[in-house]
Amino acid sequence: MTDSTRTRAPVQMGVPDEVRAALSRRGYELDGSEFLTRRPDRLTVGVRTSAGMPAVAKLYPAGGGAGAFLNMRALWESSFGEQRDPPGLARPIEYIDDADVLVMEHLGGRPLVELDHQAEEAFRNSVELLAALHGCKAGVSSLPRTARRIVKSLRRKQARIAELAPEYGARYRAAVDAVEAARPIDRELVCSHGDFSPRNVLAGRARYALIDWDRLKPADPARDVAHYGAWCWLRALHGSGTCDWSALSRFVAAYESLRPGAALRERLDFHLAAALLRMVASRVELWREESYLIPQLIEEAARRAR
């Protein structure tokens, strides 16, 4: 699945001919629907299998589809997937190598970003899904996203921002310096979603599930919890201009009730700062219309790091 809304379109204009041909060779038929996503490089469309069952095809024109499929397969074979009642993700069907397309089960429904993600049922399922993901023992082969590697990633983003938006370069560099100085020791590495937020929790027709597995890596559980909190904080800032961390506080309390040994709080500020700085980079590279938020994101990241 995808962080998206399904819409009807008379023609699949965005699907390259070679992708159409590859899907057809594997017995899939485009069904005339698309899913709206924020990522311009992640076109996702509805298909039907040769047996007439609805499915979802996600295109990876810049690469990465094979890794996402392997991530989904590992999770599906773990306690988070088919062993769980209900499974915590859509069943991966296949990866079409010559078109870089991932095909998966179609769960229907809508992502929580389009609903009231703080409503009790939606919130409870979000926490339970994340705790179950972190508690599974899926054999993810990606290199761990340790605190050291998170800082290295921020340094790469720092160079990119200096190139694309030099007006933010000095402040971003200073914030990354503060994050590096606050780098904690990794206490526990779990299967970390890497982009956990209400955008990637689906309220399906029959069950809640996590979606979009491009960034799955072993990492500290605080990474996902922090990203959820930073996303909710940014949404409040974007919507009402308020600096509201109440969603994070609520999530941490609920998560720690399910995984009391996680001890998130001692490492949470580091991961919050890193998440906020990652959001700065995405607003420089992908969503420049939201660049007015960048100064506050950097300021809050630096404050958290201190």
Domains 5-108 and 112-305 share a fold: no
Do 67 and 97 touch, CB atoms closer than 8 A? no
* Sequence spans of domains, the chain: 5-108, 112-305
pLDDT of residue 42: 72
Owner of token pair 């965005």: 14
Q: What is the rounded CA–CA span in Å between residue 222 and residue 219?
A: 8
194 conformational bin, left if phi > 0, alpha if psi -120 to 50, beta if neither:
left
Q: What is the pLDDT of residue 91?
A: 97
Indicate whether this model's pTM tops 0.75: yes
pLDDT of residue 223: 98
Amino acid sitting at position 16: P
Architecture of the domain whose range is 5-108 = 2-Layer Sandwich (3.30)
So what's the pLDDT on residue 37?
Answer: 59
Q: What's the rounded Cα separation, in Å, for the pair 283 and 292?
A: 9
Say what the pLDDT of residue 142 is: 84
Q: Which tokens sit at 165?
A: 């938006």
CATH fold group of domain 112-305: Aminoglycoside 3'-phosphotransferase; Chain: A, domain 2 (3.90.1200)
Buried b (16+ CB within 10 A) or exposed e, 262-287: bebeebbbbbbbbbbbbbbbebbeee
Q: Are 276 and 265 in contact (CB under 8 A)?
A: no
Chunked mean pLDDT (size 10), the chain, 306 residues:
37 74 95 67 87 94 88 97 97 95 94 96 98 94 93 98 97 98 94 97 96 95 98 92 94 97 94 98 93 96 96
Would you state the pLDDT for residue 83? 96
